[in-house]
Amino acid sequence: MAAVPPHSLSGQLNRSLLILVCTFWLLGAAGAAWYVNREISESVDSSLIESANRLLDLAAHEIDEANTHQIAIDGSVKSQAFAKAVDPPVMASGTVPEVLGGDYLMYQVVDGNGRMQMRSVDAPETPLDVPRTPGFAQTDKWRVYTLRHPVQDLYIHVADPLAHRYEARNESLMLLLLPLLAILPLLAFGVRRTVNRQMMVVDRITAEIGQRSGADLTAVDASGLPDELSNLVSNVNHMLLRLQDALQTERSLSANAAHELRTPLTVAQLRLSNALNQDLPDQARTEVMSASNALTQLKRRTEKLLQLSRAESGAALSREPVSLNRVVAAVLAEFQADSEVLDRLQVHLDDDTIVMGDFDAIAIALRNLLENSMRYGGDGSVEICNIGSTVLCVRDHGPGVSPAQLQELAQRHVRFANQKVGFGLGLSIVKSIMDRQQGRLELHAPPAGQTTGFEARMVFGA
């Protein structure tokens, strides 16, 4: 089974459930041990009481017979002489009644002065240090029950060793804890398996949400989910819907604004060009030329916004076989009027390669890459080549960029080096197009085999 990350929800549930089950098991075992210990104490205490009641009469009878026998031998009439003259008789352990704990019980019979009159075989030879009053008492080793003879001045101490009680309690506790230790691995496996099975639906929803992007904001399937996850997914779908509306509004605004600006910009630039053909003072001509250049920059920015809007909308992109050689030829045709650009271009293409994508979108991406290389690649040549059947690259031999700058170039409004020209949208447009074409944009600085320069690769998917 795959390892569970330590901070995952399933891992936390596994640990929490195991800790909870073990805690309740231990509490149950402790409660059961307390109950068993109490029952054992009550049972053995009952045995002490029962044994004391049975043995006291028997002991008193045997003491009387022993005293009578001694009087017959000595001719004495004082029964106290026997206690002083001979050792106290020892009753065989078999005399102890067959009750619970009988094998552990011992007893002593003493008179009112605390002198030993009789004891069991396993009893201490000296009287126990407990009060000669009816009831229970306890020493370091014994639990003692004392009973007074109703007629004679005799007391019986029936005792049970505390070690016997502790042993019985510990055995009961071990019988409760050993099964926990035995089934703990099985319990951990079962809890983990159950939690992971229930968490699979969370993994599925996580994967579905993770696949959503600006290009795919469709609702997540919430069928068959628990109520808690169903509510969560419903809220996520509501958020995706609002995000889809916001993005659509942004794209429509960008496309419409750029499209509406095209015509007035073209008209304004045409009028400025006509003005330059007139006989103007030098200062006026300079101002008109500056305005014309500003309009040219604004027109290019408008064109970039249109390209970016189309690249990110996805609605206009098709997926069909496209010849990369034809795409290159179409882009080169757009530069026919610019001899300086054509002189710097070098095309190295193998046999015609076919990829799946949108012809116009790929042409827009290639044009942006060429414009970037022409603008930032110095005065050197710019190469267009293919690598295998799925990679089209544009390479220049300019100063290139640093590794830190390379990580930011595909972001919007990021330019090469510190130059102020350009809009920082070219590579962003290419990246958006390649993402929509199920491909990717790769940037290298410097290209393999070169010490300087920059290379952009359009890698097409299958």
* Per-residue confidence (pLDDT) for residue 118, from 0 to 100: 87
Domain identity same for 278 and 240? yes
Query: For residue 376, what are its two tokens?
Result: 């930032």
For 294, the enclosing helix (H) or strand (E) is helix 282-313
Closest to 118 measured CA to CA, from 96, 86, 88: 88
Q: In this structure, what CATH number is given to the domain that contains residue 408?
A: 3.30.565.10
Are 132 and 266 within one domain? no
Interatomic CA distance for residues 274 and 243, integer angstroms: 47
- Answer yes or no: is 404 within a domain: yes
274 and 338, same structural domain? no
In this structure, the number of other CB atoms found within 10 A of the CB of residue 62 comes to 16
pLDDT, position 179: 79
Q: What is the pLDDT of residue 422?
A: 41
Q: Do 381 and 345 touch, CB atoms closer than 8 A?
A: yes
Q: Are residues 82 and 30 in the same domain?
A: yes
Residue 196 lies in a domain: no
Report pLDDT for 11: 78
pLDDT at 261: 67
In a domain, 197, yes or no: no
Q: 42 with 133, same domain?
A: yes
pLDDT of residue 214: 61
Alpha carbons 341 and 345: distance in angstroms, whole number: 6
Q: Within this chain, do residues 238 and 336 fall inside the same structural domain, yes or no?
A: no
CA-CA-CA-CA dihedral for 114, 117, 123, 124, to nearest 10: 50
* Statement to judge: residues 330 and 453 lie in one domain: yes
Within-domain flag for 68: yes
Does residue 91 sit in the same domain as residue 233?
Answer: no
Split into its structural domains, the chain has a count of: 3
Q: Is residue 394 part of a domain?
A: yes
Q: Which of 310, 327, 354 is the last residue of a domain?
A: 310
- Look at residues 153, 168, 183 and tell me which one is the last residue of a structural domain: 168
Which element (helix H / strand E) includes 384? Answer: strand 382-387
> Concatenated DSSP letters for 50-89?
HHHHHHHHHHHHHHHHHHHHHHHHH----THHHHHHSPPP
Q: Which of 141, 168, 195 is the last residue of a domain?
A: 168
- Rounded to the nearest angstrom, the gap between the alpha carbon of residue 357 and the centroid of all alpha carbons in its chain is 40
Any domain includes 198: no
Question: Chunked in runs of 10, what are the mean pLDDT values of the chain (462 residues)?
Answer: 59 83 82 81 88 86 74 48 40 38 75 86 87 90 91 90 84 78 82 81 79 71 77 82 76 65 76 81 84 76 66 64 89 79 86 83 86 84 88 89 75 48 63 84 87 90 70
pTM above 0.75, yes or no: no
**Residues 336 and 449 occupy one common structural domain:** yes
Residue 80 has a pLDDT of 40
- Asked whether residue 353 is assigned to any structural domain, the reply reads yes
Task: Return the pLDDT at 73.
Answer: 56
Check if the beta carbon of residue 78 is closer than 8 Å to that of residue 91: no
Same-domain check for residues 44 and 100: yes
pLDDT value at residue 367: 86
- What's the pLDDT score for residue 395? 92
Same structural domain for residues 23 and 164? yes
- Taking the alpha carbons of 242, 243, 246, 249 in that order, is the dihedral positive or negative? negative
Residue 155 in contact with residue 132, Cβ under 8 Å?
A: yes
Specify if 178 maps to a domain.
Answer: no
CATH number at residue 238: 1.10.287
What's the domain range around 247?
A: 229-310
Claim to verify: residue 248 and residue 381 sit in the same structural domain: no
* CA 123, chain centre distance (Å): 65
